Chain A
Amino acid sequence: MADSVVYLYAVTDAAPAEERTDEPVLAGVDGVPVRRVVSGDLAAVVSSVDPTRFSEEALRRSLEDLQWLERTARAHDAVVAGVARSGPVAPVRLATVYLDDENVHALLDERAAEFTAALDRIRGRTEWGVKGFAVRSEGDTSPQVTEDSKPGTAYLMRRRAERDRAARGLQDAAEAAEAVHQEMSALAVASRRYQPQDPRLSGRHEEMVLNVAYLVNEAGAEALRRLVGQQGGQNLRLELTGPWAPYSFATLEEQA
Chain B
Amino acid sequence: MADLPARLQLDPDAVGRDLGRLVLTIVELVRQLMERQAIRRVEAGDLPDETVERLGLGLMRLEEAMTELREHFGLRAEDLNIDLGPLGSLLPQANDHD
Residues of A that sit less than 8 Å from B by CB: 136, 150-156, 159-160, 163, 166-167, 169-170, 199, 205, 207
A155 touches B93 (CB 8 A): no
B98 touches A167 (CB 8 A): yes
**Of the residues A136, A152, A160, A169, contact of B60 by C-beta under 8 Å:** A152
Contacts A152-B52, A154-B56, A166-B98 hold; do A199 and B93 have CB atoms under 8 A apart? yes
- For the complex, what is the distance from the CA of A46 to the CA of B54, rounded to whole Å? 73
A156 touches B55 (CB 8 A): yes
CB-defined A-B contacts under 8 Å, sample of 27:
A150-B49, A150-B53, A151-B56, A151-B60, A152-B54, A152-B55, A152-B57, A152-B58, A152-B59, A153-B56, A154-B56, A155-B57, A155-B60, A156-B38, A156-B39, A156-B42, A156-B52, A159-B59, A160-B42, A163-B36, A163-B39, A163-B98, A166-B96, A169-B97, A199-B93, A205-B93, A205-B95
The 7 closest A-B CB pairs, nearest first, are A152-B56, A152-B57, A166-B97, A156-B56, A155-B60, A152-B53, A163-B98
Rounded to whole Å, the gap between the CB of B80 and the closest CB of chain A is: 16
B43 on the interface (CB 8 Å rule)?
yes
- For the complex, what is the distance from the CA of A153 to the CA of B93, rounded to whole Å? 25
Cross-chain pair count, CB within 8 angstroms: 53
Rounded to whole Å, the gap between the CB of A225 and the closest CB of chain B is: 30
Chain B residues positioned under 8 Å from A167 (CB to CB): 97-98
Contacts A163-B39, A199-B93, A205-B93 hold; do A153 and B98 have CB atoms under 8 A apart? no
Chain A residues positioned under 8 Å from B39 (CB to CB): 156, 159-160, 163
- Residues of B contacting A: mostly: helix
B57 touches A136 (CB 8 A): no
Rounded to whole Å, the gap between the CB of B9 and the closest CB of chain A is: 27
Contact flags B41-79 to A (C-beta < 8 A → 1, else 0): 011000001001111111110000000000000000000
Task: With CB as the reference atom, state the residue of chain A lying closest to B60.
Answer: A155
Contacts A136-B95, A150-B56, A152-B53 known; 18 new A-B pairs at CB < 8 A: A150-B49, A151-B60, A152-B52, A152-B57, A152-B60, A153-B52, A153-B56, A155-B57, A155-B60, A156-B38, A156-B39, A156-B52, A159-B59, A163-B36, A163-B39, A163-B98, A166-B98, A167-B97
Rounded to whole Å, the gap between the CB of A164 and the closest CB of chain B is: 8
B28 on the interface (CB 8 Å rule)?
no
- For the complex, what is the distance from the CA of A207 to the CA of B98, rounded to whole Å? 13
Chain A residues positioned under 8 Å from B96 (CB to CB): 166, 207
Chain A residues positioned under 8 Å from B42 (CB to CB): 156, 160
- For the complex, what is the distance from the CA of A153 to the CA of B47, rounded to whole Å? 12
- For the complex, what is the distance from the CA of A151 to the CA of B53, rounded to whole Å? 7
Task: With CB as the reference atom, state the residue of chain A lying closest to B54.
Answer: A152
- For the complex, what is the distance from the CA of A153 to the CA of B42, rounded to whole Å? 9
- For the complex, what is the distance from the CA of A199 to the CA of B42, rounded to whole Å? 33
Chain B residues positioned under 8 Å from A163 (CB to CB): 36, 39, 98
B56 touches A160 (CB 8 A): no
A155 touches B56 (CB 8 A): yes
